[in-house]
Structure 1
């Protein structure tokens, strides 16, 4: 974090020693491992699989869970890790979210003890990778209308359907698949080596290029009866996992915003126009001040939500407030930072356009702006306006 930004705003005095230690571990990894190749990996659409085990060794995977092999860290510690990883690249915060907040959380919350002991320690170490198959090609905002089905055949389940935008599916060992059954929506653990399971990387992306998202086909995939997640009944199951991921986004998006602000501050003091640094002009200072205000509000909101989460008082409505605000303001900050960089701001010499492109994906997944807006509208009026 730049010294000027730290002097203008810091939450260090509001954090515990343990939280600061988690943050510093994540900041070191982001700076020393992710950043040196982030621009080239984005250009090459290259996912560095070697980082997976390193993230596991640092304790970041499923770090908020208390199961065997997991770190059992607090919500604020987890948020700070998301903040630092996304300051380097949204794709790696996304990986941690898919692995820990979605796939591992589903197993932890709803699985048999045997399912937990089989998968969670290995996933926490980064030895096994999971994915979370909920969204379908027809859209992700209405999961109640999912077409994927699971039917009983003897003691087994046979799953048929299609999923889209499933992070990590092409490299995953286990998929948490959500499907409609005679009992309503249920979750299943499906090894990706199972016959009929096919995951294909989605190409042509102009965002999240160094991350992996896939189309998944489930062609009468047969799994044993014990593949079901016994504790998940209805859409409350996947929604509770999505809320874990959304919480991480509240912190993560502000990390991307911080990176853009730092670049803008540096450029404003080093680039000279009309015989003086551009940062000495009122218009540039006004832009920087506005960016700081939104960043500070976003981080303080994230910290507030983290403390609520640790006290068991965080509601889905408040998570929607955080997700909507953080991503929307991070994008606005990125666009303003680009203007301070001038024409050079569209090049890979600076991370701003990469952050901006990635944040467009973050804005869409785990609930679009529109969906979170309607969640808040429903909370305020008591009236649902989703249709």
Structure 2
């Protein structure tokens, strides 16, 4: 079982102060103009919260998994788009931390720890979403190098990141055992960033296709042995699905905070909305579900840190439950604000739009339920 330490509480207080002072003031405008939250990136990098999970051996803070989800949760409470900076840095770098050679770790991780570079994760393709084994991106050896060809889609922070962890097929006859993982740099010849997607939410975080057109990378940029990429991808998700749950909890908490403040002030029929029992019950349910989700997220993060046997089940449960809670809570927050909640003058409509993606990426919630069921039934 986990318990929050004084260090964890100190991390929360520090990140909340930074988020409210340096990220919140830009959140609405970032969403409105669909622009990257550069102010958030600078604030997180300056304070050392952009990639706290990187081990100390590579210049990072070496924060544990619970501290990492607290950082993401607190940033998401004010701006979901900005929370993808620490979240995707973890997603992109975990395959390297878990499976790469020491030389490759030394080549990539210090630049992420320092904030000099960011890293994205490239698994999905247009015809290979939940069915990742259907991917068509190929990598072939050419002398000492690898040459990649294909297209990846839904790549978070593409065009902003310098490094990309890419899954590609090296042996088509072996299905998932023929998938390998590579690290590509934006300066590598044949690497091309596509156009930006037009999205419902998280509009400040660019989502793009990336293309590999005879993209040549050095041979030492393969992560682990050939054919181990899919296993690395699955192991990565055990560590990173809790971060999406943390993002969801943060969004939900932000929406609840706005709703509580609003019902305490708004009057109807001569009474404040907070005095109506039906609305009190809505607020109570929202808070109860957020606390349950938060506890499950921290439990899952702690399990991934320890390497518990049930960490995969907990990761799926935490991501699935928290994102469902975020969707419900943000919809209820809009309802509590009534017509005002439906306008962009208040942040709850943005939070509702942002919450939706947490039910979809890093494995849809339908896939999470499959993962949980198989874990229970095998």
- 1:116 and 1:77 map into 2 onto residues whose CA distance is 22
The answer as to whether partners of 1:102 and 1:132 remain within 8 angstroms in 2 is: yes
Alignment deviations for residues 251-295 of structure 1 (CA, whole Å, 9 cap, x no partner): 221111111111111111100000010111111111111111111
The answer as to whether partners of 2:34 and 2:204 remain within 8 angstroms in 1 is: yes
Alignment deviations for residues 40-61 of structure 1 (CA, whole Å, 9 cap, x no partner): 1100011133433432232223
How far apart are 1:245 and its partner, in Å? 2.0
Of 371, 375, 382 in structure 1, the residue corresponding to residue 371 of structure 2 is 375
Matched, 1:254 2:249: yes
User: What is the root-mean-square deviation of aligned Cα atoms in Å?
Assistant: 1.8
- 2:88 and 2:364 map into 1 onto residues whose CA distance is 17
Q: How does 1:127-206 map to 2 (within 5 A)?
A: 127-182=116-171, 184-206=178-200
- 1:331 and 1:64 map into 2 onto residues whose CA distance is 27
Query: Which residue in 2 is equivalent to 1:333?
Result: 329
The answer as to whether partners of 2:138 and 2:148 remain within 8 angstroms in 1 is: yes
Matched, 1:222 2:226: no
Query: Which residue in 2 is equivalent to 1:3?
Result: none
Give secondary structure in 1 for the equivalent of 2:281: helix
Change over 3 Å in CA distance of 1:123–1:368 after alignment to 2: same
Runs of 4+ in 1 over 6 A off after TM superposition: none
- 2:30 and 2:39 map into 1 onto residues whose CA distance is 13
Moved more, 107-116 or 245-254: 107-116
The answer as to whether partners of 2:147 and 2:216 remain within 8 angstroms in 1 is: yes
How far apart are 1:240 and its partner, in Å? 1.9
Alignment deviations for residues 118-152 of structure 1 (CA, whole Å, 9 cap, x no partner): 22111112111211111111142111111011112
How far apart are 1:17 and its partner, in Å? 1.4
Of 95, 100, 108 in structure 1, the residue corresponding to residue 85 of structure 2 is 95
The answer as to whether partners of 2:264 and 2:272 remain within 8 angstroms in 1 is: yes
How far apart are 1:14 and its partner, in Å? 4.7
How far apart are 1:32 and its partner, in Å? 0.7
How far apart are 1:231 and its partner, in Å? 5.2
State how many pairs are aligned. Answer: 369
- 2:180 and 2:151 map into 1 onto residues whose CA distance is 16
- 2:318 and 2:199 map into 1 onto residues whose CA distance is 26
Query: Which residue in 2 is equivalent to 1:109?
Result: 98
TM-score, length-scaled by structure 1: 0.91
Moved more, 325-334 or 278-287: 278-287
Q: How does 1:291-302 map to 2 (within 5 A)?
A: 291-302=286-297
Query: Which residue in 1 is equivalent to 2:19?
Result: 30
The answer as to whether partners of 1:243 and 1:319 remain within 8 angstroms in 2 is: yes
The answer as to whether partners of 1:174 and 1:192 remain within 8 angstroms in 2 is: yes
Alignment deviations for residues 355-374 of structure 1 (CA, whole Å, 9 cap, x no partner): 11111112111010110011
TM-score, length-scaled by structure 2: 0.93
Query: Which residue in 1 is equivalent to 2:356?
Result: 360
The answer as to whether partners of 1:45 and 1:210 remain within 8 angstroms in 2 is: yes
Query: Which residue in 2 is equivalent to 1:344?
Result: 340
